[in-house]
């Protein structure tokens, strides 16, 4: 059974949102944690511009960790 890694995005009110990115679909599944984290490293600036302040990485339906993007700007 293949696992799927995905990001969930939250605004400053901790409301789940789906950001619109210029050249990439924010709602996608990755085949590995490494692929998901690489994607985030490439797109976090666009996510911040779309008012995302926190992201949550899940493996299938299990939360692996959450991380603030607000601190990345500093």
Instruction: Report pLDDT digits (tens) over 15-29.
Output: 999 888 877 777 789
Q: How many domains does the chain have?
A: 1
Per-residue pLDDT at 25: 79
Per-residue pLDDT at 9: 95
Domain membership of residue 55 as a residue range: 5-73
7-45 burial string, b = 16+ CB within 10 Å, else e?
bbbbeeeeeebebeeeeeebeeebeeeeebeebbeebbe
- Write out residues in the chain with pLDDT < 50, as ranges: none
Per-residue pLDDT at 6: 94
The pTM of the full predicted model, rounded to 2 decimals, is: 0.87
């Amino acid at each position: 059974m293949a696992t799927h890694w995905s990001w969930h995005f939250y605004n400053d009110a901790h409301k789940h949102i789906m950001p619109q990115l210029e050249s990439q679909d924010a709602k996608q599944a990755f085949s590995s944690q490494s692929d998901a984290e690489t994607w985030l490293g490439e797109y976090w600036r666009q996510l911040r511009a779309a008012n995302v302040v926190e992201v949550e990485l899940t493996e299938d339906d299990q939360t692996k960790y959450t991380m603030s993007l607000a601190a990345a700007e500093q």
